[in-house]
Homo-oligomer: A and B are copies of this chain.
């Protein structure tokens, strides 16, 4: 890695950590610079603004996660294995870079409106998988968005609890529980 790239990466990592610990709005460029051991002005050699620094990191992770989830589910033919693969992929990503995952989780409200319509989207990946399973008669037909929300909630609320410190340790050991629980939600007959 060249020196410039290293500096850019250090700025991103420092910003990420602070953005999660406090929030984007409450983190100052001065703090980011101090945490990255550089001068404040150096940030602006790599990013046009604090907002764009925050947005770029969000969008990059958003797209990469969507692509990873889609690749994980694609090889499988039926809903059961697809759920397993998606849940495992989610948990792996959370455990591999928890700070980045938490940043993405906590800042959807701020940035979701700025995701390009045609960009890969983690939520759409799950929704489409569920939609297909409903069409194929694998699970009862409901509102697919609502069913997707509740199924995703099984995993994401656990991740949210981890952010709040209500729950500790990696998510991966609970993959089987999450996958079974998500399946159970989708198999519910009433609606």
Q: What residues make up the interface of A, taking CB atoms closer than 8 Å to B?
A: 23, 25-26, 106, 108-110, 112, 123, 142-143, 145-146, 149-150, 152-158, 160-161, 163-164, 166-167, 174, 176-178, 180-181, 184-185, 187-191
| CB nearest neighbor in B for A123 | B166
Partner of A154, one of B153, B160, B190: B153
**Known interface pairs A26-B25, A154-B185, A181-B185; A166-B190 also in contact (CB < 8 Å):** no
Most B CB atoms within 10 A — which of A108, A154, A155?
Answer: A154
Partner of A181, one of B158, B163, B164, B188: B188
Say how far A45's CB is from chain B's closest CB, in angstroms. Answer: 26
B146 with A150: CB separation less than 8 A: no
A161 with B190: CB separation less than 8 A: no
* Interface residues of chain A: helix, strand, loop or mixed (majority): helix
In the assembled complex, 12 residue pairs joining A and B whose CB atoms fall closer than 8 Å, in A order, are A23-B23, A25-B25, A142-B177, A143-B167, A146-B167, A150-B155, A153-B158, A154-B185, A177-B188, A180-B190, A181-B188, A184-B184
Contacts of A26 in B (CB 8 A): 25
| CB nearest neighbor in B for A174 | B146
B188 with A180: CB separation less than 8 A: yes
Partner of A109, one of B158, B164, B174: B164
Say how far A131's CB is from chain B's closest CB, in angstroms. Answer: 14
Contacts of A167 in B (CB 8 A): 143, 145-146, 149
Say how far A65's CB is from chain B's closest CB, in angstroms. Answer: 16
A145 with B157: CB separation less than 8 A: no
Q: How far is the CA of A176 from the CA of B188 in the complex (A)?
A: 10
A150 with B158: CB separation less than 8 A: yes
Q: How far is the CA of A2 from the CA of B158 in the complex (A)?
A: 45
